[in-house]
Amino acid sequence: MSEFQAPKGVPDYLPPESAEFVAVRDGLLRTARLAGYGDVELPIFEDTALFARGVGESTDVVSKEMYTFADRGERSVTLRPEGTAGVMRAVIEHGLDRGALPVKLCYAGPFFRYERPQAGRYRQLQQVGVEAIGVDDPALDAEVIAVADAGFRSLGLDGFRLEITSLGDDTCRPQYRELLQEFLFKLDLDEETRTRAEINPLRVLDDKRPAMREATADAPVMLDHLSDGAKQHFDTVLAHLDALGVRYVVNPRMVRGLDYYTKTTFEFVHDGLGAQSGIGGGGRYDGLMRQLGGQDLSGIGFGLGVDRTVLALRAEGKTVGNPSRCDVFGVPLGEQAKLVVATLAAALRAEGVRVDLAYGDRGLKGAMRAADRSGARIAVVAGDRDIEAGTVGVKDLATGTQVDISVDSLVAEVITRLA
């Protein structure tokens, strides 16, 4: 075993598999950009209080999983466990909420949660996310959900389902909360669960222990107690999803791991992944901006798990991305040939052709093996004698046929062959 290993629970993505990761990340982002979301690049670490207040003290994410440390100036900072709080901080700080609404932003990058590592559950995880801030319109909820759905489908993924519910709003949630607490406090709860029921009773419905599942099977659900406004909002979201052809199942027992959600809340679940089946999730968070010191504006967004989407595609036996490193592989045999082939490589790269070369004077056999391994379609082979004659050999690596081409026409010839 090597002296150093990657931190526990943190994946490395290396060629050729890294091509899948890149294709998933870029594919999901592309779908967001097609719907008018603009890119943001935000800090990987923020003031700890931002997450404590934004994500919620009662969540596992904040209470157990944050990478928090004091920097050299004794400020408490935290590696971002999720993206929404940081986006809100930036929107408020830079006054984007005072401009045209909604503000539509997208992002991709690493997030950090000190969870118990297992298949599909990492301590550094990658997400693609969007946030649409400042307009409380159910059509926007449907857009956000449809963009996530389209993103997965654009990769060829189809063995997932969309679960959706409404967590209510200011006018119905407080009463529901009391109703649920009334129900829960009649049960025989252990100390920790009781505290949880006091802080955030909804979280108790997420208890995975069989006895608790049974005990809460008849607990009241928010969906049966929505205010007229929240119900109408939810019905309109569903009507839009129907019109857009986005299939869903209503899951009134859904509990998300973050506290800021209100109204529309959703999760994409893939059954090929075992316990860590959530490939993406999101929802509306109408109180978050005010809670973080900004205006009282609404918002909705999603975070899609790039790592888990890669695993889900593998589970479906699908490959995405191009694992080949280059289209052309140069094999120079001799000093003069090295100079000319390197120059030709630069000219081809300038035209957007991916080119790699053999280095280290390993001889024809070793160099041709490297050419095959590279995934290139064409090898450009030349010895010093060819160069003196003004030609190079162009070999089709699939068929094995080789022809001589004049150095001057090589770039055009290669481009034609690759087209």
- 283 vs 287 by CB, closer to ligand HAM: 283
Q: Residue 141 is inside which H or E element, if any?
A: helix 138-154
* Exposure string over 368-395, b if 16+ CB within 10 A, otherwise e: bebbeebbbbbbbbbbbebbeeebbebb
State the minimum distance, in angstroms, from the CB of residue 271 to ligand HAM.
14
Answer yes or no: are the C-beta atoms of 107 and 40 closer than 8 Å.
Answer: yes
Answer yes or no: are the C-beta atoms of 235 and 213 closer than 8 Å.
Answer: no
- 303 vs 332 by CB, closer to ligand HAM: 303
State the minimum distance, in angstroms, from the CB of residue 338 to ligand HAM.
46
Answer yes or no: are the C-beta atoms of 275 and 175 closer than 8 Å.
Answer: no
The verdict on whether residue 38 carries a ligand-binding annotation is no
State the minimum distance, in angstroms, from the CB of residue 157 to ligand HAM.
13
- 111 vs 176 by CB, closer to ligand HAM: 111
Report the interface residues with ligand HAM, using CB under 6 A: 82-84, 113, 115, 120-122, 125, 127, 129, 131, 257-258, 278-283, 301-303, 305, 307-308
The verdict on whether residue 359 carries a ligand-binding annotation is no
Residues sharing a CB contact under 8 Å with residue 148, sequence separation 6 or more, in sequence order: 268, 280, 282, 302, 304
Residues sharing a CB contact under 8 Å with residue 272, sequence separation 6 or more, in sequence order: 159, 311, 312, 315, 316
The dihedrals phi and psi of 356, each to the nearest 5 degrees, come to -125, 165
- 105 vs 337 by CB, closer to ligand HAM: 105
Opening angle at CA 108, ends 105 and 110, nearest 5: 135
Distance CA 244, CA 146 (A): 8
Answer yes or no: are the C-beta atoms of 373 and 397 closer than 8 Å.
Answer: no
- 234 vs 329 by CB, closer to ligand HAM: 234
State the minimum distance, in angstroms, from the CB of residue 56 to ligand HAM.
12
Distance CA 259, CA 27 (A): 29
The verdict on whether residue 113 carries a ligand-binding annotation is yes
The verdict on whether residue 290 carries a ligand-binding annotation is no
Residue nearest to ligand HAM according to CB distances in the complex: 305
The verdict on whether residue 276 carries a ligand-binding annotation is no
- 240 vs 284 by CB, closer to ligand HAM: 284
The verdict on whether residue 83 carries a ligand-binding annotation is yes
State the minimum distance, in angstroms, from the CB of residue 337 to ligand HAM.
48
The verdict on whether residue 261 carries a ligand-binding annotation is yes
Answer yes or no: are the C-beta atoms of 175 and 225 closer than 8 Å.
Answer: yes
State the minimum distance, in angstroms, from the CB of residue 279 to ligand HAM.
5
For the purposes of burial, counting CB atoms within 10 Å of the CB of 7, is it exposed (0-12), middle (13-18) or buried (19 or more)? Answer: exposed
- 282 vs 330 by CB, closer to ligand HAM: 282
Calculate the CA 144 to chain-centre distance.
14
Cα separation values, 218 from 46, 128, 195, 214, Å: 41, 36, 21, 8
Answer yes or no: are the C-beta atoms of 307 and 122 closer than 8 Å.
Answer: yes
Structure tokens at 249: 């199942």
State the minimum distance, in angstroms, from the CB of residue 197 to ligand HAM.
22
The verdict on whether residue 41 carries a ligand-binding annotation is no
- 102 vs 280 by CB, closer to ligand HAM: 280
Concatenating the DSSP letter of every residue in 390-405 gives: TEEEEEETTT--EEEE
Residue type, 256: R
State the minimum distance, in angstroms, from the CB of residue 299 to ligand HAM.
8
- 122 vs 329 by CB, closer to ligand HAM: 122
Q: Residues annotated in the binding site for L-histidine, as ranges?
A: 82-84, 113, 127, 131, 256, 260-261
Q: Residues annotated in the binding site, as ranges?
A: 82-84, 113, 127, 131, 256, 260-261
